[in-house]
Amino acid sequence: MGGVSVRIGLGYDVHKLVKGKRLILGGIKIPYEKGLLGHSDADVLTHAIIDGILGAAGLGDIGTHFPDSEWAYKDIDSMILLKKTLGMIKERYKINNIDCVIVAQEPKLLPYKEAIEKNLSTVLNIGIDRINIKAKTEEGLGFTGRKEGISAYAVVSLFENDIDICK
121 assigned ligand-binding residue = no
The reply to whether 159 sits in an annotated binding site is no
How far is it, in rounded angstroms, from Cα 93 to Cα 144? 34
To the question of whether residue 151 is assigned a binding role by annotation, the answer is no
Q: Which of 161, 154, 157, 165 is nearest to 8 (CA)?
A: 157
40 is in an annotated binding site: yes
Longest CA span, the chain: 53
Q: Is 65 annotated in some ligand binding site? A: no
15 is in an annotated binding site: yes
Residue 157, marked binder: no
Estimate the share of the chain in helix, then strand, then coil, as percent rounded to the nearest 5. 35, 30, 35
**146 in a labelled binding site:** yes
Establish whether 22 is an annotated binding residue: no
Is 13 annotated to bind a ligand? Reply is: yes
| 69 assigned binding-site residue | yes
- Residue 116's CB is within 10 A of a number of other CB atoms, namely 23
Residue 61 in marked binding region: yes
Q: 75: annotated binding-site residue?
A: no
Expressed in angstroms, the distance from the first to the final Cα of the chain is: 16
Binding residues for a divalent metal cation: 13, 15, 47
Binding residues: 13-15, 39-40, 47, 61-63, 66-70, 143, 146
